[in-house]
Structure 1
Amino acid sequence: MSESYKKRDTEEVVEEQTLVKETNGTRIVAKASESMRLSPGWKRTNKSDDESNGKDGVLDHNDLDLNPPNDRMKFLYVTMVLHGIGVLMPWNMFLNANEYFQDVKLKDNLYFKSNYMFYLTLTAQLPNLFFNWFNVFFSTGGDIGKRIVWGLVVEAVIFLFTIGMAMADTENQTTLFFWVTMGSVFLLNTANGIYQNSIYGMAAKLPGKYTGAIVLGSNLSGIIATIIGMITRGITKNYTSAAIYYFITALFVILACIDTYFSLPLNKYFRYHERLEKKQQIKTEISSRKEKIPFLMIIKQCWLQLLCVFLLFFVTLTIFPGIQMNILRQEDSTFFIDSKKYVNFMCFLSFNITAFLGSLLATLVQWPSKKYLIVPISLRLLYIPAFMFFCNYAPPDFVRHLPILYHNDWVYAILSLTMGFSSGYFSSLAMMNCGKCVEPRYATVAGKLAGAALSSGIFAGILTSMGIQKVMFSPK
């Protein structure tokens, strides 16, 4: 059975359609005499962005409310992991290209060569720290999407410029090259700070495991950078060629982040959670249209988790990479890794792999609860003196003034593995907990605060690592 009826669209054009009853339901089709045409786009029907499905049709919100979508094939989760890789890729690649800068481009200037890591850290972390906090208090009403995209675009342009600088002959322009490099690092990390803070804010709209996915990706970023470093060192002894490989890899990761970000509006699961947040925002506006974001209240509700984030990254960055990359194999040791590969395996590879595994476990098991998470994170402070006095911490060209209390490479191996694993596991828990401590409408702000606490911990840890070296050692 069927019956015909008239339906008028938004342009007042009459279109005849047929209501067809089938065994599996009812559908509306055009008559055979007319060509099939989709209903008008959401802009022509005066529907909001919230009602659009990202294409030309209209999203059935009633159906979504009754049947919330799933993250099909874990697409959104994998996307967040990729963005986690992108967040730390700039820092990891410049860190791995250390030999290229010190032994190739800056070899003729002892001051720049010996102080390269200090200036790199300062120019990289200061803008990251500043813009993370700035983005919390002055950009919360803006478009997170635009900040993510422009941050990634700026990073891509700077990496292209860095590749060009690697190919250029700067032998007679060492001073100019150094300051231009520091300037590009400053701009790169300014963009990265905005990107990092915004991506954590966006993830806070989603269930907690998606924030954990970003942390997981950040740890995976270190593994990728370490493996690429080991492969390139095996392929070529040319530091410039190796550095170009690093920067090209970073460029491809950033382009992949841009591409996957633009695919998010096509993901029904992502749109569903965006809609939930918008509905909450609309309710808030109706109840109090002039309400300001209560930063103090939000901080009061999640301060313990913010402290966890800060302490965790403070301890981790105090030790890794500053102290660990200067821990050498004990003399006359029978340890199974030889001295040439010792730093790559015991510092970079062991930390990144164990941190990745810790982040992975955090997606399956969440213990302890957010109330008691501060206990194991506070105990991690003991790692700092342990690495200082129970490992062969001996930076080259420096004389150590304080004794090593116990000489054994296996002690260092245990400390390295447990420190990396606890860093990945507890960092994921702390970042996931921040958004859970506040009302859903303030989850984005809490996520941004967590990103800012993370940057603060990194900056404080790196400065502490440098201070420890100044206290314990003096130049030869």
Structure 2
Amino acid sequence: MENEVNRREQNSSSLNDSEFPTATDPLLKQPNNSSDQNATDGTLAHSGPIQMNGGHAIQSDRLNIVYMIFLLHGVGVLLPWNTFLTIGYDYFVSYKLNGTDQTTEYRLNFFSYLTAAAQIPNLTLSLLNLFVVIKGGLHRRIYLSLLVIASICILTISFVFVDSYGWPFYFFIFTIASVVILNSANGIYQNSIWGLVADFPGQYTNAVILGNNICGILMAFIYIIILLSRIGIRLSASIYFGLALLTVIACGFSFRLLTKNKFYKFHVRKAVKSRATSCTDVLHEGEDICGNNSERKPSTPNPSLATYYAIFKESWRGLFNVWIIFFTTLAIFPSVLLKIELYPPGRTFDIFIYGDWTTSRMLFRQLTVFLNFNLFATIGSWIASYIQWPSTKSLTIPVVARLVFIPLFLACNYQTGTEPRNFVLIKDEWSFVILITFMSITHGYWSSLAMMYAPRQVDQSKSQIVGMMSGFFLVFGIASGIAFTFVEPHIVDLFGLLNPF
């Protein structure tokens, strides 16, 4: 026991105060009364001087380079998977799987298989990434994950020009296997990013959320441009997956740039030092912290299950907030929204006419559902960068209240099958659009607050693990919300049977 204590003290002393910038370092300026980034009262520090022991402070993120890199990674963690979703029907269902037999079960239920192939490995790998300490740490996790994701993008692009008409089932198997591998790597990548950003002030966590939402806006705009351009399906698929590949490559290069940034090094050193004696560093194991082989973090034992449980008990409320926000949103978007039709049943599409009927209907969906959601979710996240209300302890109240959106959207003309519903409470399509706007802006705002607050509920030595836990509960919320969409049609049908009107 005494030897163990001595070893920990040696590890701690290896990251001594001399590693932090001094008053003569060009990074530093006179300290001010900036807020502590680990405040638990709901107030989050923004870019600016960070007060350190000894009266030293580090200047703000120069040119917001670190912020923009985290924003880029927010786009990168979602863009490859969103590409499969966005082009799924046009490219996979209507083109690649449209072989001699168009009634095959795997073609009719393609999106169910696609979702399962994505969410199960994503959730599993996010969980394993919490507990498994990989030698080489953060750099190896992220670079290998990006390499796998880029390889899947390249492989998918190469198959765009391969004629699979005679073997659609084997192409289906290839596609599902690709999605499994892609989202396994993405689970590690996304979870590692959340763990890393937890060591920084709250607005850097929000940068990742903003990137997630900007990714949705980008995909909606690309879809609209391609739809109006009427280009061929193979060219459009190449554009989608080519853009995903370029984004992943940019994320890889930007991460290399990030690890050389002085602002980044400062926060990583500070966080590693706080964890040196608590054995809670699961990302920087045996890693060259500064990227120059001068500061390699000494090996420490894996955190025990008891440590994880103790941290979970401290942060469970914040983790619940993350889960319930994403559960509520994914129980509605996009599955339920895309099944809400104009009222009354059989009404001719007469709202947004551009060219033929099919194009007008698709544009209306893209504008009112996808672009509407992602635009206002981004606005909500942006607002959270400047206004944080309510405090950490009170956030549970509004995020639970968001559950009311589920019955509200089910009360619209949500179609569960081929037969029209005999009761619809919200009949006006513009009420439906306004509901999406409110649901979206609350999602962006509350999700940003929840992800920013969660790591601040604990001591900085535990914030990395809580950040990774937040990433897991985010994915868990998405998966459980999607699973709930299979239950919602039965709820509506049951209510219809009991409806007295």
Per the normalisation by structure 2, the TM-score is: 0.79
Counterpart residue number, 1:86:
76
- Give 3-state SS (helix, strand or coil) of 1:232's partner: helix
2:309 to 296, 313, 316: 296
* 2:71 paired with 1:73: no
- Structure-2 residue corresponding to 1:269: 263
Deviation at 1:139, TM superposition (A): 3.0
Q: How does 1:286-325 map to 2 (within 5 A)?
A: 292-293=303-304, 294-325=307-338
| CA-CA distance at 1:326 after TM superposition | 2.3
Contact 2:123-2:475 within 8 A present in 1 as well: yes
Identify the residue that residue 394 of structure 1 maps to in structure 2. 415
1:113–1:399 CA distance, 2 compared to 1 (3 A): farther
Distance of 1:248 and 1:49 partners within structure 2: 45
Q: CA RMSD in A?
A: 2.5
Structure 1 portions without partners, runs of 5+: 1-47, 52-57
Match of 2:426 among 400, 406, 409: 406
Provide the C-alpha distance between the structure 2 equivalents of 1:50 and 1:398, rounded to a whole number of angstroms.
Answer: 66
Letter in 2 for 1:206: F
2:196 to 202, 206, 210: 202
Residue in structure 2 matching 1:172, options 155, 161, 166: 166
State the 1:332 CA deviation: 6.1
**Alpha-carbon distance in structure 2 between the residues aligned to 1:372 and 1:83:** 30
The 1:339/1:285 distance shift into structure 2, 3 A limit, reads: closer
Amino acid at match of 2:340: I
1:343 counterpart = 2:392: no
1:241 to 235, 247, 250: 235
Flag the 1:209–1:140 CA change in 2: closer, same or farther, 3 A. Answer: farther
The one-letter amino acid paired with 2:79 is M
Q: How far is the alpha carbon of 1:189 from its aligned partner?
A: 0.2
Please tell me the residue identity of whatever aligns with 2:468. K
Unaligned runs of 5+ in 2: 1-12, 29-51, 281-299, 354-359, 495-501
Q: 1: CA distance between counterparts of 2:81 and 2:423?
A: 32
- Match among 396, 400, 403 for residue 378 of structure 1: 400
- C-alpha change, 1:340 and 1:152, in structure 2 (3 Å) is closer
Residues 84, 218 of structure 1: 8 Å contact kept: yes
> How far apart are 1:107 and its partner, in Å?
1.8
Q: CA deviation at 1:264?
A: 1.0
Give the drift of 1:425: 0.6
Superposition deviation, residue 393 in structure 1: 2.1
Matching residue of 1:230: 224
Structure 1 match to 2:187 = 193
Pair 1:114–1:79, CA change in 2 (3 A): same
Residue type of the alignment partner of 1:435: P
Shift of 1:237: 4.4
Contact between 2:194 and 2:205, CA under 8 Å: does it hold in 1? Answer: yes
- Which of 65, 88, 103 is the aligned partner of 2:94? 103
Residues 408-452 of structure 1 show CA distances to partners (whole Å, capped at 9, x for unaligned) of: 012101110000111111000000111101110111100000000
Q: Secondary structure at the match of 1:79?
A: helix
Instruction: Report the AA paired with residue 140 of structure 2.
Output: K
1:129 aligns with 2:123: yes
CA contact (8 A) 1:328 1:339 kept: no
TM-score, length basis structure 1: 0.82
Which residue in 2 is equivalent to 1:29?
A: none
- Of 425, 428, 431, the residue aligned with 2:451 is 431
- Alignment match, 1:55: none
Q: Which amino acid aligns with 2:206?
A: G
* Equivalent of 1:251 in 221, 245, 257: 245
How big is the shift at 1:238?
2.3
Q: Given that residues 400 and 473 in structure 1 are in contact (C-alpha distance below 8 angstroms), is that contact kept between their aligned partners in structure 2?
A: no
CA contact (8 A) 2:200 2:267 kept: yes
Distance apart, 1:403 and its partner CA: 2.4
User: In structure 2, do the counterparts of structure 1 residues 257 and 301 end up closer, same or farther at CA, with 3 Å as the change threshold?
Assistant: same
Alignment correspondent of 1:8:
none
* 1:329 matches 2:342: yes
SS in structure 2 of the partner of residue 319 of structure 1: coil
Query: CA separation in 1, counterparts of 2:367 and 2:14?
Result: 50
1:139 correspondence with 2:139 = no
In the other structure, the counterpart of 2:48 is none
Q: Which amino acid aligns with 2:387?
A: V
State how far apart, in whole Å, the 2-side matches of 1:119 and 1:470 are.
20
Alignment partner of 2:437: what SS? helix
> Equivalents in 1 of 2:372, 2:279: separation in Å?
49
Give the secondary-structure state (helix, strand or coil) at the position aligned to 1:404. coil
Tell me how far apart the structure 2 counterparts of residues 327 and 239 of structure 1 sit (CA, whole Å).
Answer: 27
**Deviation larger for 374-383 or 191-200:** 374-383
User: Are the structure 2 counterparts of residues 144 and 398 from structure 1 closer, same or farther at C-alpha, using a change threshold of 3 Å?
Assistant: farther
Aligned to 1:457, what secondary structure does the other structure show?
Answer: helix
Percentage identity across paired residues of the two chains = 34
1:358 aligns with 2:380: yes
CA distance in 2 between counterparts of 1:361 and 1:176 reads: 47
Is contact 1:398–1:473 with CA below 8 Å preserved after alignment?
no
* Separation of aligned partners in 1, 2:124 and 2:277: 32
CA contact (8 A) 1:69 1:272 kept: no
| Aligned residue type for 2:81 | W
| CA distance in structure 2 between the partners assigned to 1:431 and 1:310 by the alignment | 10
Amino acid at match of 2:453: N
Distance 1:339 1:282, change over 3 A: closer
Q: CA offset at residue 116 of structure 1?
A: 0.5
Equivalenced residues, count: 418
Report if aligned partners of 1:322, 1:466 keep a CA contact under 8 Å in 2.
no
Give the deviation of 1:266 after TM superposition: 1.9
* Distance apart, 1:329 and its partner CA: 3.4
Q: Cα gap change, 1:239/1:307 in structure 2, threshold over 3 Å: closer, same or farther?
A: same
Q: 1:470 to 1:179 in 2, by over 3 A?
A: farther
C-alpha separation in 2, matches of 1:157 and 1:215: 25
Partner Cα distance (1:152, 1:94) in 2:
17
Structure 1 344/292 Cα, relative in aligned 2: closer, same or farther at 3 Å? closer
Q: Which moved more, 1:291-300 or 1:315-324?
A: 291-300
Deviates more, 1:214-223 or 1:60-69: 60-69
